[in-house]
A and B are shown apart, each in its own frame.
Chain A
Amino acid sequence: MALLGEILKGRCNLKVTIAQIGENRLKRVLVDDKENSPEKLCEVLSSDFKNVCECYMDEPNVVITADITDDGIEFNAHVTAKRVKSIGVLTV
């Protein structure tokens, strides 16, 4: 609805800019670089996972570790938070 509102007001620019293409390329390059290093991949995962946790918790702290097992790679997430958000303020 918000996007529709912006379009109706003529404020929303649907054209993809060169900067946006650059940002997407940059993100892809940075993630690809980190994929070669398990520690950096865990950092990226933690960052994304933290964004999800912030929808449900206040000030979450996320630590993700990776272990290589016989079955593949095992990721373990350890999440601590000050408190869980009440249903009324959930952003999802």
Chain B
Amino acid sequence: MARKIVFTSGKGGVGKTTVCANLGATLSNLGFRVCILDVDIGLNNLDVVMGIENKVVFDIIDVIESRCRASQALVQDKNFENLYILPSAHSYRGEEVSASDIQSVVKSLENSFDYIFIDCPAGVEQGFKRAVSCASEAVVVVTPHISSIRDADKVLSILATYNLNQKYLVVNRVRGDLMMNGEMIDVDEIIRFLHIPVLGVIPEDDDITALSSIGALGGRESNRAWMLLAENLHNGTQKVYDCKQKYRGLFGSFRRNIKRKV
């Protein structure tokens, strides 16, 4: 039986889809069968992030409206053989899909995978409720910005009304150099404000931006962080990537100053 985890944030643009895709890729690389469901109906982008937009034949709406089975709509990732994506529809009105529709899709897939990740739309409206209602765990993605943390706090208070086994926090796009300079809210402070266990910290990585343009995943700076995130999720460990490490000491100080001036 798969672990069903929803990736949410409230605010858009914090990296829900990126975290979902990279964590899925890392777990599949470790040998786990992972399925990522894009339930952002009408504004879906998981297919583009994963570079499978040309391989989509059926989508989640075709499954819901019984034009195909869920297994027929799955698209296997081109680089990770254990990673499958169930794409969403771009030209469809999301209001016509109910939470029970999505739940039945998830139910039909849960015995074939170790993990089912649900990529939730931004906001806290119907799309959010649909996505959360079929998950048993939630990962709240935040960036070290006040707007993102505020929205995450709101989302957490809404998640408290759902029957979720566990809620985790992922702090994305962290700049160790800015934190060391006292120019970015510290990760420890974010954890203190939001009061939920941290699953991982992902550093800002230019490679992610560059690779997403060509539909590829990963990044030199964030690779270790994805691995620790996957380990924490699977084993329940609490190893957090230290974004400040390379900016400590004399050489770290040089790095910080150079990065600030570039």
- Please give the distance in Å from B217's CB to the nearest CB on chain A: 30
Say yes or no: B193 contacts A19, CB within 8 Å: no
Contact A19 B153 (CB under 8 A): no
Question: CA–CA, A26 to B142, complex, Å?
Answer: 14
Task: Enumerate B112-155 residues with CB–CB distance to A below 8 Å.
Answer: 146, 149-150, 153-154
A90 within 8 A of B: no
Cβ of B65 under 8 Å from chain A = no
Q: Interface of chain B, helix or strand or loop or mixed?
A: helix
Q: Mark A28-39, 1 if CB is under 8 A from B, else 0.
A: 011001000100
Question: How many CB-defined contacts (below 8 Å) exist between A and B?
Answer: 40
Q: B97 to chain A: which residues have CB within 8 Å? A: none
- B183 is an interface residue with CB less than 8 A from chain A: yes
- Knowing A19-B186, A33-B153, A33-B154 are in contact, say whether A27-B193 is a contact too (CB < 8 A): yes
Query: DSSP class of A's interface residues: helix, strand, loop or mixed?
Result: helix
A11-25 CB contacts (< 8 Å) to partner B: 17-20, 22-23, 25
Does A25 contact B146, Cβ atoms closer than 8 Å? yes
Please pick, from B150, B179, B182, B183, the residue contacting A30 in the complex, using a CB distance under 8 A: B150
**B184 in contact (CB, < 8 A):** yes
- Give the chain A neighbours of B66 by CB distance below 8 A: none
**Chain A residue nearest to B184 in the complex (CB):** A19
* A17/B183 contact (C-beta < 8 A), A30-B150, A33-B154 known: yes
Taking CB atoms, residues of chain A closer than 8 Å to B95 are none
Residues of A within 8 A of B235 (CB): none
* Cβ 8 A contact of B150, one of A17, A26, A40: A26
Q: Does residue B96 face the partner (Cβ distance < 8 Å to A)?
A: no
